[in-house]
A = this chain, B = another copy of it.
Amino acid sequence: MGRPFARLASSPNESRLQHRSPLNPPRQQRIAIVGVGLIGGSLGLALRKRGGFEVLGVCRSAESVQRVIKSAVVERATTDLAEAAGWADVMVFCTPVGEIADGLAKSLANLQPGAVITDAGSTKASLVATIEAALAKDPGGAANFVGAHPLAGDHRRGPEAARADLFAGRTVVITPTASTSAHALETVERMWQTVGAKTRRMSPTEHDAALARTSHLPHLVAAALAAATPPELLPLTATGWADTTRVAAGDAALWRDIYLANSAEVLMALDELEAKLAEYRAALVANEGPVLEQLLRTGKERRDAVGS
């Protein structure tokens, strides 16, 4: 399973030579995608489709290497994170948010000077702080990192669900800090723009406050609603229940880590929702049709503003 990557690693000098010669085009940017599931796989597919990039996937197991090669979402794949770190111009961590810092720690010793590091994790504040602290051991090390979060997804998982257009027209939040270099910021923004996304800069804490309300709370509510439905009533569900609970099918361990990393903001978002639910409750208890209708109208307006 190391073979596809080994094949690639045999020609680094030749590539660098091409890069330095004005008669040859610059060598392709080398992107290592760590964690090749729906997000990593879609990024790989989209970069390959666009061209101008060499895309290496880093997988957890030999089985996964076979799987991502079969899905053709990356050109090559390996399980050797250190070797990938020694090769890449850009390392993109697309593993679940709870595994990113660990993966980075294993790459640190081998990173090329100036290599840019980024991620696609769903929470940012604690993760970015952890990563910057780890990188700060080298002078200027943290400058090469910038966090990112593509606001795109699907309830399906794995490289087989990857789509080259997953990010087309979607927003990718980029979370620079005072440490971030212009080079890292531009490299990462350009990469996401290349695959059709709009980039938007926010601080890591701003990101987490926003996503608690637009993503983490909806997931929590969907899971709670599904869990609160007695099993014997499941045959009496229709599209409304199916839509409202769909994201609850997501990976439990991945979401556990998101909630652990962003619990304070999620709790505040939950308070806001509970306050809204209390308005519904009061209107139901009092049987107040006009109040109920107005509450429903506000929800509808907010929903209609987003589209299907």
Contact = CB atoms under 8 A, between A and B. Distances in A.
* Secondary structure call for the A interface: helix
A225 B151 contact: no
Identical subunits present: 2
A230 interface: yes
Nearest to A292: B256
Contacts of A200: 235-236
A239 interface: yes
A223 interface: yes
A303 interface: yes
Which of A236, A249, A304, A308 has the largest count of B CB atoms less than 10 A from its CB?
A: A236
Given A223-B300, A233-B213, A238-B215, A253 B293 contact: yes
Which of A259, A260, A269 has the largest count of B CB atoms less than 10 A from its CB?
A: A259
B285 A239 contact: no
B276 A236 contact: no
Contacts of A238: 151-153, 170, 214-215
Contact of A270 (B233, B269, B281, B306): B281
Given A213-B230, A214-B238, A255-B296, A246 B243 contact: yes
Given A252-B293, A280-B270, A298 B235 contact: no
A26 interface: no
A180 interface: no
Nearest to A170: B238
Interface string A171-195: 1010000000000000000000000
A299 B223 contact: yes
A274 to B, nearest CB: 7
A21 interface: no
A218 B235 contact: no
Interface in A6-52: none
Contacts of A267: 281, 284-285
List the 3 closest pairs (A to B, CB-CB), nearest first. Answer: A223-B299, A252-B296, A218-B244
